[in-house]
Amino acid sequence: MPTPADATSTPGPTGAFVIDVEGLDGLVACLRALGYEVKGPTLRDGAIVPGPLSSCGDLPKGVHDLQSPGHYSILSDDDDELFGWAAGPGSWKQEFFPPSQVLWRGEVVDDTVVFRAPERPAAPLAVLGVRPCDAAALAILDRVLKDGSHRDPRYFDRRDSNFIAVVECASPADTCFCASMHSGPGIDEGFDLALTELNDEQGHRFVVRTGSSRGADVLSSVPTRPANESDLVARSLILEEASRMMKRSLPYDEVASLLARNVEHPRWDDVARRCLSCANCTMVCPTCFCSDVHDTSEISGALERRRTWSSCFDLEHSYLHGGAVRASSPSRYRQWMTHKLSTWWDQFDSSGCVGCGRCIVWCPVGIDITEEVAAIAASDAAHPSASALRSAP
């Protein structure tokens, strides 16, 4: 293990190193000293959710999760693992794209209106403990909120200055399917630092890889040693085992066209009989981005435009000419699933799904998106003819 006497080799932009738990604390301290607001996964109210990190003591040590369709529970054990869990209900989307956000404020002054941009957060954000699926989700949101010439300034204000330290997954949940979505359990880009927790006979340590010069700078503030053969093999084994453990999957290369040619499949009615349109799935999904825009005013003349999260499961979401375009439950479930897995490709040139499985876990009736896709694939209508009679909703 590294000791204070070890010379700290200057990490270059590539290469793998090893730090111990004190080193992890050191990273947090360094980030705070640099002026970042540091956040990470914390245990609160029986779930692992984003929270402030003042040190590694705030991380969920010895905490493990049990997740299945419609079920989430936490087990506390007395082991030392800091990241022995998969993903909690809150993703890091809410830090960059808050559930409610002021777009502008205005004041009527004489015969005109003076607009003011809302206050910006005081400090840039650093996150220690982003899962690879959530890092992939942020990359997806980058494409959505950039959209050519319309770049969301609030989102990128937060995103351009962020520091992302990903922690790869050793303990996927039963509901995880990131491996089939090419977004986990390991990760090779889209981070400042990527850590893998190792806890074996050689000690409790982290393999660290740098993904940016910013990451390299922060890493150079703590004692490190180069990762050796056995560290790297241990990391590989963990990632392989994590992939193997995943019981669910989606046919990544086929699902977009599968759904595009099954717009009238009877499975939509079937799932709609179970779906409550509660919108939980869209709330916990790390890539859902639908929002409503509202203007309000006060008697004083102060104006405000605010954006809030909304969901395609809301009846008002598709309101047009006095009614909802997607009034029926099957049409709304179809919209969500075909957007996430199929039309997202047409709109943003990527999948909308990272395989985090949150929609399966947090659905009150346990609807499983991978099961729905499999059911449609099983009776795939390669030729959707209108003469295929379909029950009305």
User: Which DSSP state fits 58?
Assistant: G
295 is a contact residue toward another protein (CB under 8 A)? yes
Among 319, 364, 365, 379, binds another protein (CB under 8 A): 319
- At 17, the amino acid letter reads F
Contact range with another protein by CB under 8 A, out of 68-76, 100-108, 191-199, 222-230: 100-108
Closer to another protein by CB, 3 or 385: give it: 385
- At 334, the amino acid letter reads R
**CA gap 213, 53 in Å, rounded:** 23
What is the distance in angstroms between the CA of the first residue and the CA of the last residue of the chain? Answer: 64
Q: Which residue has the tokens 């050796």?
A: 228
Paired strand residues for 302: 107
Contact range with another protein by CB under 8 A, out of 75-83, 193-201, 244-252, 324-332: 324-332
290 is a contact residue toward another protein (CB under 8 A)? yes
Closer to another protein by CB, 199 or 311: give it: 311
Among 230, 347, 364, 365, binds another protein (CB under 8 A): 347
User: Which DSSP state fits 56?
Assistant: G
Closer to another protein by CB, 37 or 264: give it: 264
**Binding mask 132-151 vs another protein (x if CB under 8 A, - otherwise)?**
------------xx-xx-x-
CB of 343 to another protein, least distance (A): 4
Contact range with another protein by CB under 8 A, out of 2-10, 36-44, 75-83, 300-308: 300-308
CA dist 388 → 88, 270, 335 (Å): 42, 16, 20
CA dist 48 → 67, 86, 187, 339, 353 (Å): 12, 9, 21, 28, 21
**CA gap 108, 231 in Å, rounded:** 63
Closer to another protein by CB, 42 or 262: give it: 262
**CA gap 310, 298 in Å, rounded:** 24
Instruction: State the residues that interact with another protein by CB under 8 A.
Output: 103-104, 106, 108, 111-113, 115, 117, 144-145, 147-148, 150, 152, 263-264, 289-297, 303, 305, 307, 310, 312, 317-328, 331, 335, 338-339, 342-343, 345-347, 385-387, 389-393
